[in-house]
């Protein structure tokens, strides 16, 4: 309805506040949905190479003077078996059996595995490849921890205790980058 000019002049102009209720309603629905999809954990990746099936068909290159170490760790139900190129082996490797730490249940001896691999690294510093295989029923979380123990060098060269090994810091070079142990992991399947 039109106002008289005098009324229009004296009428108080009032700016209406924006109605935020619909936007709030959308946000109240959207935020729980996004919270559900949000990961509260940090996802990283471990790189591996496809498994090799059975004996290799590749003929060894004659010009290669250095024989590869062919370091292999097999995860069994009883522990770890470490193997290497037969020609480079002076005495048979002893298996690393599962053992109890601090009176608890028996578990895989990852500190001993790391210590053994570190000793191999000192013997063959240029070697970067490790073959990791397992018995068919070994669960993935054990294999993931095995890859962990073979990937980087830690501050100490050997560990006895699981607690000390679990909390050990990674050894770094002068640039602050982690020193590799056997970073190239190849899955092997024995047929």
**Alpha-carbon distance 181 to 127, whole Å?**
9
Interface residue with other proteins among 149, 150, 153, 182 (CB under 8 A) is 149
* Distance separating alpha carbons of residues 132 and 28, to the nearest angstrom: 49
Residue 147 near other proteins by CB under 8 A: yes
Cα(31)–Cα(110) distance, integer angstroms:
43
Give the relative orientation of helices 110-123 and 140-151 as an angle to the nearest 10 degrees. Answer: 40
Residue 144 interacts with other proteins (CB under 8 A)? yes
Instruction: Supply the minimum distance, in Å, between the C-beta of residue 56 and other proteins.
Output: 15
For 48, other C-beta atoms within 10 Å of its C-beta total 13
Residue 131 CB burial class (10 angstroms; 0-12, 13-18, ≥19): buried
- Smallest distance from other proteins to CB 5, Å: 24
Q: Which residue has the tokens 């669960």?
A: 139
Q: For the CB of residue 42, give the shortest distance to other proteins in the complex, in Å.
A: 4
- For residues 23-82, which are near other proteins according to CB under 8 A? 23-24, 27-28, 30-31, 34-39, 41-51, 53, 75
- Reading the block at residue 85, the tokens are 């190129």
Size of the site for other proteins (CB under 8 A): 54
Question: Per this entry, what is the length of the chain?
Answer: 191
CB of 44 to other proteins, least distance (A): 5
User: Least distance from C-beta 39 to other proteins, angstroms?
Assistant: 6
Binding of other proteins at residue 113 (CB under 8 A)?
no
Stretch that binds other proteins, among 64-72, 82-90, 96-104, 136-144 (CB under 8 A): 136-144
Q: What angle do CA 96, 102, 106 make, to 5 degrees?
A: 45
* Residues from 162 through 191 that contact other proteins (CB under 8 A): 165-168, 170, 178, 187, 189
Q: Note whether 10 binds other proteins by CB under 8 A.
A: no
Task: Retrieve residue 87's tokens.
Answer: 């020609």
**CB 99 to other proteins: min, Å:** 17
Task: Label residue 103 left, alpha or beta by phi (over 0 means left) and psi (-120 to 50 means alpha).
Answer: left
Interacting residues toward other proteins by CB under 8 A: 17, 20-21, 23-24, 27-28, 30-31, 34-39, 41-51, 53, 75, 110, 133-141, 143-145, 147-149, 151-152, 165-168, 170, 178, 187, 189
């Amino acid at each position: 309805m039109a106002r008289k000019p005098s009324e229009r002049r004296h009428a108080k102009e009032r700016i209406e506040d924006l109605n935020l209720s619909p936007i709030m309603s959308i946000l109240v629905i959207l935020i729980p949905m996004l919270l559900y999809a949000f990961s509260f954990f940090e996802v990283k990746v471990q790189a591996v190479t496809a498994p090799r099936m059975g004996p290799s068909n590749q003929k060894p290159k004659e010009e290669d003077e250095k024989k590869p170490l062919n370091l292999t760790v097999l995860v069994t139900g009883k522990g770890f078996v470490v193997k290497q190129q037969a020609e480079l082996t002076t005495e048979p490797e002893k298996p690393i059996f599962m053992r109890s730490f601090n009176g608890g249940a028996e578990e895989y001896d990852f500190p001993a595995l790391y210590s053994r691999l570190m000793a191999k690294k000192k013997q063959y510093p240029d070697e970067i490849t490790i073959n990791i295989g397992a018995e068919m029923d070994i669960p993935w979380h054990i294999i993931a921890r095995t890859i962990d123990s073979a990937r980087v060098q830690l501050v100490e060269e050997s560990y006895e205790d699981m607690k000390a090994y679990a909390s050990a810091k990674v050894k770094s070079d002068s640039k602050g980058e982690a020193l590799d142990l056997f970073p190239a992991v190849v899955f092997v399947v024995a047929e």
